[in-house]
Amino acid sequence: MNQTQQSHCLDPDDFGILLKILNEKGYLTVGPTRRDGAILYDVLESMYDLPIGWTDEQEAGIYRLKRRDDNALFGYNVGPHSWKKYLFPSKTKLWSATKKGAGFEIDGEADAPPTYAFIGVRACELHAIQVQDKVFMGGIFQDPIYTGRRQDCLIVAVNCTQAAKTCFCTSMQTGPKVNDGYDLVLTEIIDEARHYFVIESGSDVGADILKELTTSPAEQDDFQAAATHIENAKKQMGRTVDMTDIKDVLYHNYDNKRWEELEKRCLACGNCTMACPTCFCSNVEDVTDLTGEHAERWRTWDSCFTMDFSNIHGGSIRASIGSRYRQWLMHKLATWIDQFGSSGCVGCGRCIAWCPVGIDLTEEVKAISDSEEGDRNGTHQDN
């Protein structure tokens, strides 16, 4: 085992010390909290801000919190928030300017973002961050806002030991076990005898932090218990998607009648794109105050479900809701692969739980794959 990979056992009562150490090192610790009937990401001032003893129940169009019969710190799955809330905020001021004489002068630089420590990042979410890394930092142009927030960000990941009915990370090969990209990873073990964490480091920074914690060495039984708990999550996986030839299947089904059928159900509300941890579209808006003395430019999340999104001179090129749903699903599972070399879906299930009418991506893919409508000789068009 090298310096980077260290494995220990941590008492849950000492989890707060980890937060304290991170705060003392200058990190802003953010992670799961219980608020407004959901598990939302917010600042963690102490371990008691975590949803201790709570779990979530999820189904298509359904999300509920429920008490557990134990005091698990991470006994739930993902909520409506994702880490893009911090790395790619929903609203960012790009610049502001104040009138000076006949013209405008750009105001000073914006404050630097905090150095985040993300607490409780799940395997699918880590993959989603890696997908957005490619989008914002992997090309010729690097997004300075995303890069500035991401580069020193510390990741404390948590292996899933349970899965929601909306989860399908095993199909997407993105979970439930965290494999890389973390500084520290924890597996919460609760059995008849004990409640504790197996904690492992994945970077030198993580290994140094681990040395500061009061831990005991992890033994073979602890690794076995962790593996069994993660296996439980695999067994509970609520949904599956057959990803075999998915790109070709979708490309050959541009004219499938399922898109028209979706037209009758989809509200084009855009909830799925807002909740999705990989969706990255944005708009830029200019605003001025009533005096005309002050102007600002903002970047805001956008959604391919709006009419304006595909508005080119003369109107929207995706006038029907069915064509907008098709654009979204095709991008996630087909064109994304051509564009970025991986799927744009990590199987977190948020778009299923948070769709107000319960439209389920896995069900739509299955319906299209099973359908006889597909024109196997069809060609790929972009509208």
Binding site for ligand SF4 (CB under 6 A): 266-272, 275-278, 305, 325, 332, 345-351, 355-357, 359, 361
> In whole angstroms, how close is the CB of 173 to ligand SF4 at the nearest point?
13
Question: 33 or 271: whose CB is closer to ligand SF4?
Answer: 271
- The residue (of 75 and 349) whose beta carbon lies closer to ligand SF4 is 349
Residues 6+ positions from 31 with CB-CB distance below 8 Å: 41, 42, 44, 49, 50, 118, 119, 120, 156
Straight-line distance from the first to the last Cα atom of the chain, in angstroms, rounded to the nearest whole number = 52
Asked whether 289 and 325 are in contact (CB, 8 A), the reply is: no
Report the nearest approach of ligand SF4 to the CB of residue 24 (Å): 34
Work out how close the CB of 271 gets to ligand SF4 at its nearest, in angstroms, rounded to a whole number: 4
Which residue stretches of the chain are H helix?
Answer: 15-24, 84-87, 123-137, 144-150, 169-172, 204-212, 220-236, 246-251, 258-263, 271-275, 321-330, 336-340, 350-353, 361-370
Nearer to ligand SF4, 65 or 269 (CB): 269
Tell me if 304 sits within 8 A of 266, measured CB to CB: no
Tell me whether residue 76 or residue 325 sits nearer to ligand SF4 (CB atom).
325
298 forms bridges with which residues in the sheet?
93, 285
Q: Which residues contact 39 (CB under 8 A, 6 or more apart)?
A: 32, 33, 51, 54, 56, 65, 76, 78, 79, 81
Output the smallest distance, CB 166 to ligand SF4, in A.
8
The distance of closest approach from Cβ of residue 95 to ligand SF4 in the complex, given in angstroms and rounded to an integer, is 31
The DSSP code sequence of 339-368 is HHSS-S-----HHHHT-TT---HHHHHHHH
Minimum distance of ligand SF4 from residue 382's CB (angstroms): 19
- Quote the CA–CA distance of 7 and 302 in Å, as a whole number: 42
Q: Which is nearer to ligand SF4, 7 or 278 (CB)?
A: 278
Q: Which is nearer to ligand SF4, 60 or 218 (CB)?
A: 60
DSSP class per residue in 152-183: T-EEEEE--SS--TT--HHHHT--SS--SS-S
In the complex, minimum distance from the CB of residue 210 to ligand SF4, in angstroms, rounded to a whole number? 30
Q: Which is nearer to ligand SF4, 215 or 278 (CB)?
A: 278
The nearer residue to ligand SF4, 97 or 269, going by C-beta atoms, is 269
SS3 267: coil
Quick one: 183 or 364, whose CB is closer to ligand SF4? Answer: 364
Q: Shortest Cβ distance from residue 236 to ligand SF4 (Å)?
A: 16
The three-state secondary structure class of 194 is: coil
**Least distance in Å: CB of 344 to ligand SF4?**
7
